[in-house]
Amino acid sequence: MRQALDSHIQQAVAQKQFGGSVLVAKEGEIMLRCGYGMANIELEVPNTPEMKFRIGSITKPFTATAIMQYAAGTR
């Protein structure tokens, strides 16, 4: 599963559709923990799993929606 996830994300990075950090866990076991692409292109700083992003309040509605969708699907 780790290889399949990593391969899928690598394809998105190659097509410049994704760059960031990814953590995938299942039942408490970490399946994938990697950084992809560049955090800063000008300074050539790669993303790492420990990278901190300035994302602000824009993500709150997305997070709330994801939680609500997950909760609705688990009933």
| pLDDT, tens only, 33-57 | 999 999 999 999 999 999 988 777 7
Decide if 57 is catalytic.
yes
Q: Has 60 been annotated as catalytic?
A: yes
The pLDDT of residue 44 is 94
Domain count along the chain? 1
Q: Identify the CA nearest to 47 among candidates 9, 4, 7.
A: 9
Residue 30 belongs to domain spanning: 2-73
Question: What's the whole-number mean pLDDT along residues 1-29?
Answer: 91
Residue 7 has pLDDT above 70, yes or no: yes
Q: How far apart are CA 16 and CA 46, in angstroms?
A: 14
Q: How many residues does the chain have?
A: 75
Percentage of the chain modeled with pLDDT above 70: 97
Q: Which of 16, 26, 52, 57 is catalytic?
A: 57
